């Protein structure tokens, strides 16, 4: 129920009372483990091991980024890091939704799975899902579904893809409606300023973080699995390297190829990465790939 990036780090940060840890788990029941010192933080040399995937439980990592070119068009990229075993990765598929024999939207999900991880309406918008707050607890999610007739974020996204055709209506729709668990919706449009990260509570949006040309890095928004106004745990700081890589690339070089290169850099790309996608709603480009061993 409400699965989105739910394989979480069982070791936690390497430092007790880490600000990023206490921000998401004040009691430190799951975010800190005192024996994690033996694990340490993975450095750049971890790239040497990327030819072999780890099949241990991963930290539920996901990264999505929206970026605006100098011309005002928007590119959208995402990594999905569910640490899926090979048989399940083989079921990941792109799907098209049609109405009156016309394709109205496309998305990526899995065979037998009703919702989608990300999707796009050509000429309108694209959206992806990242986990927030560990994706919720199973019992709470089930009760939310039964008592409040709530939907999963993946099913909610599918509904919006098949009912909305433009960025602002999509942002409004993704910001409302009861869900079984929390998540982030990362949304890209087709024109200047049309990029946003929606931090969802179960009932509504808790925050909407939009592109802002008046800020130094306001031409992009990079979202992992922690609220942008809080620090991140030291054991899972994919935010800082991701932002650094975006800054190094620069707004003048935003395009599908350079954005793919960002998504393939450690630690944005990591041993748990199953899927990478880059989308350009303005022209309908939808690049989708599953990583294998």
Tens of each residue's pLDDT in the chain, 293 residues? 333 343 434 333 445 666 655 665 677 665 544 443 333 333 333 333 333 344 444 445 799 999 999 999 999 999 999 888 899 999 999 999 999 999 999 999 999 888 999 999 999 999 999 999 865 555 555 555 555 567 999 999 999 999 999 999 999 999 999 998 899 999 999 999 999 999 999 999 999 999 999 999 999 999 999 999 999 998 899 999 999 999 999 999 999 999 999 999 999 999 899 999 999 999 999 999 999 86
Structure confidence at residue 150 (pLDDT): 76
Quote the CA–CA distance of 176 and 205 in Å, as a whole number: 7
Other residues' Cβ atoms within 10 Å of the Cβ of residue 80: 26
Backbone angles phi, psi at 169, to 5 degrees: -60, -35
Q: What pLDDT score was predicted for residue 16?
A: 62
Q: Do 69 and 254 touch, CB atoms closer than 8 A?
A: yes
Residue 6: name the closest of 106, 117, 90 by CA. 117
Cα torsion 63, 255, 189, 164: sign:
negative
Nearest-angstrom CA–CA distance, 138 and 241 = 32
User: How far is it, in rounded angstroms, from Cα 183 to Cα 2?
Assistant: 9
Q: Find the length of the chain.
A: 293
Phi-psi region of 134 (alpha: psi -120 to 50; beta: other; left: phi over 0): left
Whether 62 is catalytic is yes
Q: Could you report how far apart the first and last alpha carbons of the chain are, in Å?
A: 28
Cα angle for residues 129, 168, 71 (degrees, 5° grid): 90
Instruction: Give this prediction's pTM.
Output: 0.81
Indicate the class that CATH gives domain 19-290: alpha beta
Q: Give the CA-trace dihedral at 268, 271, 275, 281, to 10 degrees.
A: 10
- Per the CB < 8 A criterion, the answer to whether 130 and 64 are in contact is yes
What distance in Å separates the CA atoms of residue 268 and residue 254, rounded to the nearest whole number? 17
Tokens 């037998």 correspond to what residue?
112
Of the listed 5, 21, 31, 62, which one is catalytic?
Answer: 62
CB neighbours of 102 closer than 8 A, spacing ≥ 6? none
Tokens of 274: 């199953």
Q: Distance between CA atoms of 169 and 127, rounded to whole angstroms?
A: 12
Q: Are strands 92-99 and 102-110 parallel, antiparallel or unpaired?
A: antiparallel
Other Cβ atoms closer than 10 A to 116: 25
Q: Is residue 78 within 8 Å of residue 55, measured between CB atoms?
A: no
Distances in whole angstroms, Cα of residue 226 to Cα of each of 61, 62, 250: 10, 10, 24
* Angle (deg, nearest 10), helices 153-161 and 167-175: 150
233: left (phi over 0), alpha (psi -120 to 50) or beta: beta
Per-domain residue ranges of the chain = 19-290
């Amino acid at each position: 129920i409400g699965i989105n990036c739910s394989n979480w780090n069982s070791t936690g940060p390497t430092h007790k009372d880490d600000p990023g840890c206490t921000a998401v788990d004040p009691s430190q029941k799951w975010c800190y483990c005192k024996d994690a010192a033996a694990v340490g933080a993975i450095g750049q040399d971890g790239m040497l091991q990327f030819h072999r995937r780890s099949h241990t439980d991963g930290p539920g990592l996901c990264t999505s980024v929206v970026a605006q070119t100098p011309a005002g068009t928007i590119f959208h990229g995402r990594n999905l890091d569910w640490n899926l075993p090979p048989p399940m990765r083989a079921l990941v598929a792109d799907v098209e939704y049609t109405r009156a024999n016309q394709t109205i939207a496309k998305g990526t999900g899995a065979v037998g799975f009703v919702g989608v991880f990300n999707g796009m309406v050509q000429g309108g918008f694209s959206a992806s899902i990242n986990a927030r707050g560990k994706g919720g607890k199973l019992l709470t999610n089930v009760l939310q579904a039964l008592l409040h007739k709530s939907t999963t974020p993946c099913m909610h996204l599918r509904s919006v893809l098949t009912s909305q055709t433009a960025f602002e209506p999509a942002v409004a729709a993704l910001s409302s409606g009861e869900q079984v668990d929390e998540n982030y919706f990362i949304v890209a449009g087709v024109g200047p300023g049309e990029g946003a990260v929606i931090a969802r509570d179960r009932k509504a949006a808790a925050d909407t973080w939009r592109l802002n040309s008046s800020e130094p890095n306001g031409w992009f928004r990079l979202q992992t699995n922690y609220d942008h106004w809080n620090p991140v745990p030291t054991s899972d700081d994919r935010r800082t390297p991701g932002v650094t890589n975006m800054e190094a690339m620069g707004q003048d070089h935003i395009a599908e190829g350079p954005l793919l290169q960002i998504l393939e850099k450690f630690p944005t790309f990591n041993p748990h990465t199953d899927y990478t996608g880059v989308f350009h709603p303005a022209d309908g480009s939808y690049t989708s790939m599953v990583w294998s061993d």
